[in-house]
Amino acid sequence: MKETKMIPFNQEPVLDTESLMAGLGISRQEANDLLWKMFDDDIIDLIPTLDG
């Protein structure tokens, strides 16, 4: 078998409700509203995460 090499993968920083709340000192609703606005303005893509 041919040897394969791993390709480095640099994950983008996570921008989520909790990090916005902590970093900006805003409420959960304000953080969610900000995320949806950035999504609507094509600034970010929203990727759902599963708790668990």
Which pLDDT score is estimated for 44? 85
**DSSP per-residue codes, 10-45:** -PPPP--HHHHHHHHT--HHHHHHHHHHHHHTTS--
CA distances from 50 to 4, 8, 21 (A): 31, 25, 19
Q: Are 39 and 31 in contact (CB under 8 A)?
A: no
State the 10-residue block means of pLDDT for the chain, 52 residues long: 73 82 95 92 80 56
Supply the pTM of this predicted model: 0.65
